[in-house]
Amino acid sequence: MKIVNETTQIFDEVRKKYLKLTPEEWVRQNFIQYLNKEKKYPMGLMGVEKMVKYNNLKTRADIVLYNTDGKANIIVECKSPDVKITQDTFNQIAKYNSQLKVKYLVVTNGMKHYCCKMDYKTDEIFFLEEIPNY
């Protein structure tokens, strides 16, 4: 971290630049480190604030993890620690997934994390105890 013009900034290792430190950015950057260090996802297979078109709207997914073929595999939606994870949060990530069709959805506010596995054959969603390792 560093301070520029009295503003605290945090380094984003995926985008290779400093960003203003907000509560949501703190969650995003710490979750990126968790995915990389604990779950072994390579930084090179992560995308941050990736544009997703939905009903002619341009939205941004917080973190997208890709497989080695470049196909999106996991979407992560990050919220500030003071934001309660609700059905609206899951609806938001579901909108992104309507376009990306990933295997896993993750929602976090830095305090609570939820991971779902999608089964497109049966149209079921399964909550997992933890995020799968790379």
pLDDT of residue 55: 84
The pLDDT tens digits for 1-52 are 899 889 999 999 999 999 999 999 999 999 999 999 999 999 999 999 999 9
Does the structure show a pLDDT above 90 at 89? Answer: yes
2 contacts: CB under 8 Å, gap ≥ 6:
8, 9, 11, 18
Does the structure show a pLDDT above 90 at 54? Answer: no
Summary mean pLDDT of the chain: 95
Q: Which two tokens stand for residue 13?
A: 């290792």
Distance CA 59, CA 126 (A): 25
pLDDT band for position 76 (cuts 50, 70, 90): very high
Give me the residue spans of the domains in the chain. 2-128
Is 3.90.1570.30 the CATH number for 2-128?
yes
Of 18, 76, 87, which Cα lies nearest the Cα of 52? 76
Distance CA 65, CA 100 (A): 11
pLDDT band for position 132 (cuts 50, 70, 90): very high
pTM over 0.95: no
